[in-house]
Chain A
């Protein structure tokens, strides 16, 4: 029974909302390592906002928090 070739479903991802700009949004804090680690790759690099759907304003805050956390050795600069 030949299976009907399923057309390649277009890669659709529901429109992700920025996790920081809702009314009850989480505060970005450079000491909150668990939160910041969610936005870094396994190598410790900061993930781009086009992947994590974080708004531009919050991405700047996030990047500054991660850099501060790295400065006081809460997070590594590079993870190999």
Chain B
């Protein structure tokens, strides 16, 4: 079974319960296809970097999936049919990481690891031709 990771964004009008119900029936599809979802993360309401279909915010949900390709295709088809899901992205991975994704702990600072990479370290490069 291959490893996949799916992120999708649900409309902001949905309540948290509805989003969970949405995730549940996707899980249902995966388990029917004899796959399994090892990690489900509800990252809650986040403001989007740009508006998608007139929505400023969206519920982000992340799945770690171990399933066969036809099952994934079926899940993708269901996601495509569902209007509440604004956008989704499914990628194939070699291995699944189980620790919480950086999406979740936006508050919890992991900045000290990136100190050396600060933008200012690269000087004032705007890269704008004009």
Contact = CB atoms under 8 A, between A and B. Distances in A.
Interface string A4-37: 0000000000000001000000100101111101
Interface string A58-78: 000000000010111111110
Nearest to B101: A31
Contacts, number: 72
A37 B116 CA distance: 13
Interface in A40-71: 41-43, 45, 47-48, 51-52, 68, 70-71
A41 B126 contact: yes
Chain A: number of interface residues, binned into ranges: 20 to 34
Q: How would you classify the secondary structure of chain B's contact residues: helix, strand, loop or mixed?
A: mixed
A31 B118 contact: no
B102 A29 contact: yes
Interface in B75-130: 87, 89, 91, 101-103, 106, 110-111, 113-114, 116-119, 122-123, 125-128
A77 B117 contact: no
Interface residues of B, number: 30
B35 interface: no
Interface of A: 19, 26, 29, 31-35, 37-39, 41-43, 45, 47-48, 51-52, 68, 70-77
Given A41-B127, A70-B49, 14 more contacts: A19-B116, A26-B113, A26-B114, A33-B103, A34-B111, A34-B114, A38-B114, A38-B117, A51-B123, A51-B125, A51-B127, A73-B49, A74-B103, A77-B49
